[in-house]
Amino acid sequence: MKLNKKNILIILKECGVSDLEGNSKIGTIKNILISANNIKLEISIYNPTYNFKIKLKEDITSLINSKIDFDSKKSSLDIILLVQQKNKEINKKKIIAISSAKGGVGKSTVACNLAVSFAQKGYKVGLIDADVYGPSQHIMFDIEDQSPALDKKNNKIIPLSNYGVKILSIGNFVNQNSPVIWRGPMATKAFKQFVEDVDWSDVEYLFIDLPPGTSDIHLTLVQSLELDGAVIVSTPQKIALADVKKGIAMFKKEDISVPIIGLVENMSYYETESKKDFIFGEHGVRNVAEDYKENFLGSIPLSSSIRESCDVGRPFVLQKDTNVKNIFSSIADNIDQIINSQDNKSKKLKITNNKGCS
């Protein structure tokens, strides 16, 4: 291939770098300078980690040397990587991702009730429903028929609000009976808009209800925001726990590096008057937390009342003096304690009492 801008762009696209803003998980090309067979590339990247920068430079250099008419002994290749700045204003908040590596474990239910629990403690709380393919927070907060307004002065979307929580869900923007069939770039662009184009100015705690699994949304999340940490939700079932371990590994990857606040065991047991029935197995999430030396935040029982409260759009924690409400409140206390005990976001998060609650 001849040495020209067109062919250099082809090489960069092979490495995941795009010439269009927002169309790449890696970054975008800002400038290509070719002079007397010398090449200078300026690339705006999302990931600031050292290992990522080294690998990207090596990949680009290798492809140029192998595919372009370029003599590295006689000419120079200068690759300048510019890290895109994250949203400074929103990163002043305490930002917590609620994650589950497996679907159907009650992650959104936990996110909803934790958000309201923090509001009950007096915090100003926001919640982003980032599960763009299966949104549910608009139902759980009883705002199905509402649409967010636009603040024309600031050109910002005003999130909806209920039970002391500001909420934004893709469910308020799409037809309720139509599936959201989007490719990865469309979903990540929607999430970035929820972060950057929405007025979260007075929020102290911002919860993000992630889609299950490990997807483009998760990568965009860590590229766009400085997370204070992630809460991982799972049932104690062995099949679910296999994916929990993948979720822990994802957050610990060098190019993601998000602290894990702790693990929550949902549908932990079914309680009758006489006993607890551990339908999905006993203490599975607690054991994984111990194995991986992570905080165990608490166990939430399997309860038809929790399901019913979600269906009617009234979070369970709005009930007074019930055992389950107290469990959610205790988990919220644990998270609050962990977050506020840190001097900065780079330190390892630890809970002083690792027994959790049940």
pLDDT tier, 175 (very low <50, low <70, confident <90, very high otherwise): low
Instruction: Please state which of the ranges 45-49, 99-103, 171-175 shows the lowest mean pLDDT.
Output: 45-49
In a domain, 261, yes or no: yes
Statement: residue 67 has pLDDT above 80:
yes
Domain boundary (52, 83, 114) is at 83
In a domain, 352, yes or no: no
Same domain, 150 and 185: yes
Give the tens place of pLDDT for each residue, 95-125.
999 998 788 899 999 999 999 999 999 999 9
d(Cα 80, Cα 93) in Å, to the nearest integer?
Answer: 31
In a domain, 125, yes or no: yes
Same domain, 67 and 206: no
Overall average pLDDT of the 44-60 stretch: 79
In a domain, 353, yes or no: no
CATH code of residue 287: 3.40.50.300
Same domain, 104 and 42: no
Same domain, 163 and 26: no
Same domain, 135 and 47: no
More confident residue, 38 or 37: 38
Q: What pLDDT does 201 receive?
A: 87
Give the tens place of pLDDT for each residue, 114-172.
999 999 999 999 999 988 777 899 999 999 888 888 888 888 889 999 999 999 988 88
Same domain, 15 and 113: no
Same domain, 191 and 316: yes
In a domain, 355, yes or no: no
For β-strands 229-234 and 94-99, DSSP reports them as parallel
Beta strands in the chain (DSSP E): 17-18, 27-35, 38-45, 77-83, 94-99, 125-129, 149-151, 156-158, 160-162, 165-169, 205-209, 229-234, 260-265, 270-271, 276-277, 296-299
d(Cα 141, Cα 124) in Å, to the nearest integer?
Answer: 16
pLDDT tier, 81 (very low <50, low <70, confident <90, very high otherwise): confident
Same domain, 56 and 142: no
Q: What pLDDT does 348 receive?
A: 41
Same domain, 179 and 269: yes
Same domain, 191 and 110: yes
In a domain, 254, yes or no: yes
In a domain, 358, yes or no: no
In a domain, 132, yes or no: yes
Q: Which of 120-129, 147-156, 241-250, 274-283 has the highest mean pLDDT?
A: 120-129
Q: What is the residue range of 24's domain?
A: 5-83
Q: How many domains does the chain have?
A: 2
Domain boundary (64, 83, 102) is at 83
Same domain, 117 and 30: no
Domain boundary (68, 83, 98) is at 83
Statement: residue 340 has pLDDT above 50:
yes
Same domain, 19 and 113: no
CATH code of residue 35: 3.30.300
